[in-house]
Amino acid sequence: TFKPCINGFAYCKPIVQVDETWQYEKYTRTLLLVVAQDKNNHILPITFAIIKGETTNTWFFFLKNLRRHVTPQSGLCLISDKHESIKSAYNRENNG
C-alpha cells in the first residue's frame, strides 16, 4: 500500500471490499485488491498484491497485513465473494 491510501482510508466508510482477478497472456499472476468508499461514494484503492497463486496462506498474509497496517480500527465490515481461501484465512487464529 501507499501512505496516501492509508491516510485516505481515515475518511472512508468503515467497509472494505476484497477481491482478486487473474492476469492473462504474458503475466500469469493473481492480483489481490482492497478498495473502500468515501462519503461522496468515490472508490479508493487501499492496497494490492500480485501473487503467484490464490491460497489460504496468501490471503492470510494479505489480510493480516491489511489489518495491521491499514485498518486497525474495530467495527470494520469486510465484503468478499466468499471464496474458500478468503473464508479460511479470515477464520484462522491470529489473523488480526
What are the 10-residue block averages of pLDDT along the chain, 96 residues in total? 90 92 80 92 92 87 89 87 82 72
Q: Which residue shows C-alpha cell 493480516?
A: 64
Residue 96 forms part of a structural domain:
no
Whether 62 is covered by a domain: the verdict is: yes
State residue 25's pLDDT score: 77
Does some domain include residue 17? Answer: yes
pLDDT number for residue 96: 61
Whole-Å CA distances, 30 to 46, 51, 60, 68, 90: 17, 5, 15, 22, 19
Residue 53 lies in a domain: yes
Q: What is the rounded CA–CA span in Å between residue 21 and residue 5?
A: 20
- What is the number of domains present in the chain? 1
pTM for this prediction: 0.82
pLDDT at position 91 is 82
Q: Whole domain around residue 20: which residue ranges?
A: 2-91
